[in-house]
């Protein structure tokens, strides 16, 4: 059995990850590729409960360490019960956010030590890394505006603009550090243009 490919979508708030994930799924299915669509934090019953705890804006104050460990606890479940089994069966996994989000939000946004994140990444993931990561990048205000139009804010979306500027910078740094894996797509343009750039990137994996 040929192992499936692991694709992740990343970017700040409201850049269009979920919208474009559906687009990529449809594109792959048109090419007869079996696809599992999932998200982080989340993807299993327990990991979705952890997601709820993390996004709940009315919870007690969550310490930075607790936040980081909850994210990796959810990730451990997700990898064991969804991602690895699917890849092993030859299915492609399309995931809305993964560990680059931890480098961006907890590393960049919360200013946590990168070496701690790396240590947890190695512990929880072993050798698992995405085959391809699409980073959708747009100025912070654009994403926040799109998210705002959708309605209520979660615990992260209540952060200040400067937090999201740090997140964006950390994502761009990840792209610089991993140019083979992370493909940057400008998302502050019409959706058709974003999606045509996406097809160019996904095609490279289909070859
Ligand atoms: N988190 C997550 C961490 O802190 N650490 C971690 O390790 C991980 C994994 C999860 C939160 O958890 C944090 C980060 C997050 O704050 P989430 O729901 O995954 O939350 O992330 P959000 O960014 O909140 O997801 P959103 O649904 O808000 O944003 P999307 O998915 O990027 O945007 P989408 O597709 O819903 O689009 C938003 C709106 O914009 C429109 C869409 O139609 C939609 O209305 N749109 C466009 N409009 C015009 N032009 C375009 N090109 C458009 N693209 C989309």
Q: Determine the pLDDT at residue 146.
A: 83
15 Cα nearest atom in ligand 1: 32
Q: The domain at 6-206 falls in which architecture?
A: 3-Layer(aba) Sandwich (3.40)
Given a cut of 80, is residue 100 above it in pLDDT?
Answer: yes
CA torsion sign for 116, 122, 124, 129 is: positive
pLDDT tens digits, residue range 3-56?
A: 999 999 999 998 999 999 999 999 999 999 999 999 999 999 999 999 999 999
Of 40, 186, 191, 180, the C-alpha closest to 121 is 40
Please give the Cα distance from 187 to 2 (Å, whole number): 33
CB under 8 Å to 129, separation ≥6 — which residues? 6, 181
Q: For residue 144, name the pLDDT band (cuts at 50, 70, 90).
A: confident
Binding site membership of 69 for ligand 1 (Cβ less than 6 Å): no
Q: Determine the pLDDT at residue 154.
A: 87
Q: Determine the pLDDT at residue 145.
A: 85
**What's the CA-to-centroid distance between 17 and ligand 1, angstroms?**
5
Q: Write the CA distances from 30 to 9, 39, 64, 96, integer angstroms.
A: 19, 22, 42, 20
| pTM summary value | 0.96
pLDDT tens digits, residue range 146-170?
A: 877 877 888 888 888 999 999 999 9
Given a cut of 80, is residue 172 above it in pLDDT?
Answer: yes
Ligand 1 mutation target, pool 25, 101, 163, most atoms within 8 A of CB: 101
- Token pair, residue 151, equals 């309605």
Q: Quote the DSSP letter at residue 92.
A: E
Of 41, 150, 186, the C-alpha closest to 106 is 41
Binding site membership of 105 for ligand 1 (Cβ less than 6 Å): yes
Q: For residue 143, name the pLDDT band (cuts at 50, 70, 90).
A: confident
156 Cα nearest atom in ligand 1: 16
**What's the CA-to-centroid distance between 2 and ligand 1, angstroms?**
31
Binding site membership of 14 for ligand 1 (Cβ less than 6 Å): yes
71 Cα nearest atom in ligand 1: 7
- Token pair, residue 26, equals 């449809």
188 Cα nearest atom in ligand 1: 52
**What's the CA-to-centroid distance between 146 and ligand 1, angstroms?**
9
Given a cut of 80, is residue 108 above it in pLDDT?
Answer: yes
pLDDT tens digits, residue range 51-95?
A: 999 999 998 999 999 999 999 999 999 999 999 999 999 999 999
Mean pLDDT taken over the chain = 95
Residues comprising the chain, all counted: 207
Mapping DSSP to helix (H, G, I), strand (E, B) and coil, where does residue 15 land?
A: coil
Largest CA distance in the chain: 49
User: Which H/E stretch holds residue 38?
Assistant: strand 35-39
**What's the CA-to-centroid distance between 1 and ligand 1, angstroms?**
34
Asked if residue 176 lies in contact with residue 80, where contact means CB atoms within 8 angstroms, the answer is no
Q: Determine the pLDDT at residue 127.
A: 97
């Amino acid at each position: 059995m040929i192992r499936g490919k692991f694709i992740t979508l990343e970017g700040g708030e409201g850049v269009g990850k979920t919208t474009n994930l559906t687009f990529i799924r449809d594109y792959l299915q048109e090419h007869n590729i079996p696809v599992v669509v999932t998200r982080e934090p989340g993807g299993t019953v327990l990991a979705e409960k952890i997601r709820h705890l993390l996004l709940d804006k009315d919870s007690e104050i969550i310490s930075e360490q607790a936040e980081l460990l909850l994210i990796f606890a959810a990730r451990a479940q997700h990898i064991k019960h969804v991602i690895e089994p699917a890849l092993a069966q030859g299915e492609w996994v399309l995931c809305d956010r993964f560990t680059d989000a931890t480098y961006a939000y907890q590393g960049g946004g919360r200013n946590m030590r990168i070496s701690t994140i790396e240590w947890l990444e190695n512990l929880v993931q072993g050798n698992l890394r995405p085959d391809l990561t699409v980073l959708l990048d747009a100025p912070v205000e654009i994403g926040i505006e799109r998210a705002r139009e959708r309605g209520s804010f979660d615990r992260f979306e209540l952060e200040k603009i400067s937090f999201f500027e740090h997140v964006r910078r950390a994502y761009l740094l990840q792209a610089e550090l991993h140019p083979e894996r992370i493909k940057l797509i400008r998302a502050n343009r019409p959706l058709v243009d974003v999606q045509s750039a996406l097809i160019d990137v996904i095609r490279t994996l289909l070859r």
